[in-house]
Amino acid sequence: MDKTASIYVAGHRGLVGSAIVRNLRAAGFSNIVTRTHAELDLTDERATRGFFEAEKPEYVFMAAAKVGGIVANNTYPAQFIRDNLAIQTNVIHAAHLAGVTRLLFLGSSCIYPKLAAQPMREDALLTGPLEPTNRPYALAKIAGIEMCWSYNREYGTKFLAAMPTNLYGPGDNYHPTNSHVIPALLRKFHEAKLRGDATVTVWGSGTPRREFMYSDDMADACVFLMNLPDIRYQALLGSDENQSGRFEPPLVNIGTGTDVTIAELAQLVRQTTGFTGDIVFDASKPDGTPRKLMDVSLLTQTGWRARTPLAQGLCDAYAEFQQSESGKT
């Protein structure tokens, strides 16, 4: 990407979008186009088309989505499938009409089957049933991958889908009940420290293994992919199955390639927050799937690797959390 190229980051105020904007700014990209949800509702087809016609961005990072935890996904399944299908359909089609040079569509590891072999490779897509709690969301994301693939086949576009693992970092959602595991644990241990509690109870047995990536690393991977020379970028776009006979969607996993147990994570969060009490595991609560790890061989082959160790990322995230909490008082 040229430093003056017009780059649209959809969802720039979210965890993922804000990290991409930080990365682009730090790298000297000067023409970053953003719109808040209030300024441009991407479920509105006419407004989305009008925006693309007027701005004509050359590159698009698709980090706008209706996102939520298990409770939200279970409570609003219709909104999750409808909004995400609408957002991505409008953006992908408008990007094609506006002649966007490259588009990076972001999804998540929930697109892979519930019982996919670990670590999960890109070719595990569509090989088995999905986790039912977020199936509407996951199916919308799978449709987004298929749209990128279909538009590439029919119109010769260069749309790539990237699936990041679990993320954490600045601007994360620290809601006490509706947040992902890292922000939830940081808040829990932080508040236990302030109250002087003797113990913190962590749900489940502590044995499941999970992968976590710092959002700034993920953003670095996204910008790296978008910047790849044509021949290497083209290689990630897979192939037309009708011609190659191979199932090769334009899909790449983004992760660290390593995982930790929830017990190890809790221990790291305890150290990070300075909580001095004990950790108790409540094994009566569900554990979920025993392991969820992305296979990142394809990404690694491009020459990119995650840089931020979990312990350091947790310290940075905790510092930002404390800062945002002190701003509230």
Ligand X SMILES: NC(=O)c1ccc[n+]([C@@H]2O[C@H](COP(=O)([O-])OP(=O)(O)OC[C@H]3O[C@@H](n4cnc5c(N)ncnc54)[C@H](OP(=O)(O)O)[C@@H]3O)[C@@H](O)[C@H]2O)c1
Is residue 166 near ligand X by the rule CB under 6 A?
Answer: yes
The answer to whether residue 125 forms part of the interface with ligand X (CB under 6 A) is no
Q: Which of 202, 216, 205 is nearest to 169 (CA)?
A: 216
Q: Are 227 and 307 in contact (CB under 8 A)?
A: no
**Minimum CB distance to ligand X smaller for 106 or for 192:** 106
Binding mask 69-108 for ligand X (x = CB under 6 A): --------------x---x------------------xxx
Is 48 near ligand X (CB under 6 A)?
Answer: no
Give the footprint of ligand X on residues 10-39 (CB under 6 A): 11, 13-17, 37
Are 114 and 124 in contact by the 8 Å Cβ rule? The answer is no
From the list 8, 137, 174, 214, the catalytic residue is: 137
Residue type, 8: Y
Give the 3-state secondary structure of residue 128: coil
Task: Work out how close the CB of 40 gets to ligand X at its nearest, in angstroms, rounded to a whole number.
Answer: 6
The CB-of-323 to ligand X minimum distance in angstroms stands at: 18
d(CA 23, CA 101): 20
Q: Is 137 a catalytic residue?
A: yes
Among 9, 67, 124, 221, binds ligand X (CB under 6 A): 67
The verdict on 164 binding ligand X (CB under 6 A) reads yes
DSSP type of residue 121: P
Q: Are 168 and 313 in contact (CB under 8 A)?
A: yes
Three-point CA angle 326, 328, 329, nearest 5°: 70
**7, 20, 65, 279: residue in contact with ligand X (rule CB under 6 A):** 65
Contact 166, 211 (CB under 8 A): yes
Which of 64, 202, 266, 269 touches ligand X by CB under 6 A?
64
**Residues near 222 by beta carbon (within 8 Å), at least 6 away in sequence:** 20, 23, 61, 104, 106, 162, 254
> What positions carry a catalytic annotation?
137
In the complex, which residues of this chain contact ligand X (CB under 6 A)?
Answer: 11, 13-17, 37, 40-43, 63-67, 83, 87, 106-108, 164, 166-167, 180
